[in-house]
Amino acid sequence: MSIDVKKLAMIGAVGLLGFGLAACDSEAGSDSGGDTETSEAAEETAADGTSPDSPLPAGTEVEVGDWTITVSDVELDATEAVLAENEFNEEPADGNQFAMYAVEGTYNGDETGTLWLDLTIGVFAGGTYYDDCPNVIPDDLIDSSEVANGADASGNECAEIPSADADGALIYIEDIWSIDDDNRVYLEIA
């Protein structure tokens, strides 16, 4: 829950900063002449996984923050597996299910990193981001250790998603410490 508070605080700070910059840049104006180079560059950017409209193929290795990440073994309805892991696990809300996916990461930073603290890896479904799963899951990523440069961390992540939105869902990965809203990477689910 503390990660969500951190995200909210960062988003608020970025919003205030963006508002201030927009006010300072109001004299710049805009060119509605339809710059072809800008349009082509925007299309190329959208094709690199930074938009839910054009995600990268499933299994693509991506660089996010100080990590090189691969997501695999995505099971959009892993509800039975999650519930079987611990007798105290709670069922998803009515109309929801648990998605579970394997995450492998190699740390590329100068210091040390903890994968589950540095990145948010969740499911984008029905236009909403999901990364919350308050249950014990098999091989939980939260049990992975802090690692040094070149070392790996791996484990499973889980998200509770609406069953009606499971078709067409995507995996998303973002650097939790980045203040850049464009730091998300979207991946298809095989």
Bridge-partner residues for 112, per DSSP?
Answer: 148
**17 in a structural domain:** no
**104 in a structural domain:** yes
For residue 104, the enclosing domain spans 56-190
Cβ of 127: how many Cβ atoms within 10 Å?
7
**22 in a structural domain:** no
15-71 pLDDT, tens digit per residue, is 433 434 333 343 344 444 444 444 454 444 445 898 999 999 999 999 999 999 999
Name residues of the chain where pLDDT drops below 50: 1-39, 41-46
**49 in a structural domain:** no
The confidence score (pLDDT) of residue 153 equals: 98
**45 in a structural domain:** no
Q: Which residue has the tokens 């100068």?
A: 110
pTM of the model: 0.74
What is the count of structural domains for the chain?
Answer: 1
Q: Which residue has the tokens 């990590």?
A: 67
Distances (CA, A) of 185 to 78, 89, 154: 23, 30, 18
CATH of the domain at 179: 2.60.40.1240
Say if CB 118 and CB 66 are below 8 A apart. yes
One DSSP character per residue, 121-179 reads: EEEEETTEEE----S--TTBGGGPPPEETT-EEEEEEEEEEEGGG-TT-EEEEEETT--
